[in-house]
Amino acid sequence: MKFTIRKKLVCMDINNIKMVGIDQSIPIEIREKVSFNRDIADVLQELKNDGLDEIVILSTCHRSEVYFYSESIGLEEIKKFYVEHFKLEDDFKHYLYGISGIKVVEHIFRVACGLESMVVGEDQILGQVKDALNISQINKASGKILNKLFRDAITLGKKARTDTGIKNFSSSISHIAVKFIQDVFKDIKGKKAFVIGTGEMGEIAIKNLIAKGVNVCVSNRTHSRAQNLKEEIPEIDVVPYEDKYEQIAKSDIVISATNAPHYTVCYDRFINVYDGKRICMVDIALPRDIDPKIAEIDGVSLYTIDDLRKTAEENRKKRIDVIKDIEKMIFDKKAEFNDWFKTIKIEPYIKKVNIYSHNICDIEFERLVNKLEGATERDKENIRISLKRVADKMSNMMISHIKKDVLMNDDISFNEDRREENI
C-alpha cells in the first residue's frame, strides 16, 4: 500500500486560523459601538454565507472578537465587515486588531485563563468563552478546528484556575466595583444601594454590598427574575422597574448591570426626580446603561468599567507570580495544539492505514478459520481478537512514525509577537 503524504500536506495551514476584534484597551465609547448582543446567530449565518469555513464570536463587556478559519478570506475583509455591520466610519478600522495562526491560539488561551481580563483570573470570561462556542455549535458555524481550539481553551482555563490557586483570590468586575465604591465613601455600611439588573454581574454586586452592611434594593425589567432572586437573597428589597428613577434619587449608591442595547437610565427622566443628594453611580454594563450626561449633574459621580482600571491593576500586581505560572501552562498547551493541527493534515492517511490493517485482519481470519476443524465459536472469537490486536499494534506503530515525521519536518516557531496591530 503506497502513501504519498509529503506533497499533499501544504493544503492545511495554521495561519488560516484568524481573529479580528477589539478589547479593553480601547475606550468604552468605542467598544460599545461594536458589541454583538442578541444578533450573534444572525451574524454567524451572515459570515458563513460570506464564505468563512468556521466562525466563533466572543462578545463581552471588554471585547468583541470574531474568530474564524478560512483559506481565502483575510483580516481586512472582516475589519470591513465590522465597519459595515455596525454602520461605522471607515477609519474605525484602525481600532481593530487582527492576528493569525499560532498567535490566535495563544490569545484565546490567555483570554480563557483570565490574563486578558481587566480583573486578572476572573471567572466570568470562562463562562463567556463556553457560551461563545456553544452558540456557534448550535448555529452550525464552528467546526473541527475551532471546536478543538475553544475546548482546549476552556480546559486550560479551568486547569489554570485550579492548579495555580488563582481562583482562591480572583475577583470580578462586580467585586472591583464594590471596592471602588468603598474607596469613594470610605465607609459604606448602612448606605442605601440600588442595583439595576439581576444577571450574574448584578447578583455578585448585590452579595458583596450586603456582606459590607449595605441596604440593597433591586430592580429588573423582568420583575419575576428580581422576585426569584429575593427568594435566594431575602435581605434585598425589590423595586418595580417603572419606579427605578425615584429609587435612584433616594439612593447613595447605584450599580447598573443590564444587557440592554440602549440607555436604561436617561438624563431627562432622572433630572426630573433628582433632589441634589450625593449619589455614586457605577455603570458596569456594555453598551452603557447610564446616560453619560448624568455625570454633569452636581452631586452625582458617575463611573464606568474603564474607571475601575486602576483598582484592577493593583489587583493584577498582587498576582504576578501566578500569572507567570499560567503563562508557562499556556506555552505548553499552545505547542500541544500546534502538534495536533499538524497531524490533522494526515488524518486521511491514518484512516487508510486503519482500514487496510482491519481488512488484512479480516482476510487472514477467514483464511485461518476455514482451515481449522472442530474450532468452537469461542475459539474463533479469540482468534479474531488476537489478530485484531496484532493489526492494531502494527498500524499504531506506522501511524506513530508518520506523525513523528510530520512533527519533525513541519515546525513553527513560537517566538513571535502575539499581536499585529493595524494589519
d(CA 69, CA 108): 14
Pairing, β 215-219 against β 237-238: parallel
Match 490569545 to its residue by C-alpha cell.
107
d(CA 386, CA 393): 11
DSSP track, 311-377: HHHHHHHTTHHHHHHHHHHHHHHHHHHHHHHHHHTTHHHHHHHHHHHHHHHHHHHHHHHTT-SS--H
Using CA atoms, how far residue 281 sits from 74, 172, 236, 300, in Å, is 42, 18, 19, 7
Please name the amino acid found at residue 51. Answer: G
CB burial of residue 363 (10 Å; 0-12, 13-18, 19+): exposed
Is 61 in the active site? Answer: yes
Instruction: Judge whether 74 and 18 are in contact, CB under 8 Å.
Output: yes
Instruction: Please pick, among 61, 113, 280, 361, the residue that the annotation labels catalytic.
Output: 61
Match 465587515 to its residue by C-alpha cell.
81
Residues 6 or more apart in contact with residue 195 via CB below 8 angstroms: 202, 205, 206, 209, 216, 217, 218, 219, 254, 255, 256, 257
User: For the chain, how big is the Rg over CA atoms in Å?
Assistant: 28
Residues identified as active-site: 61
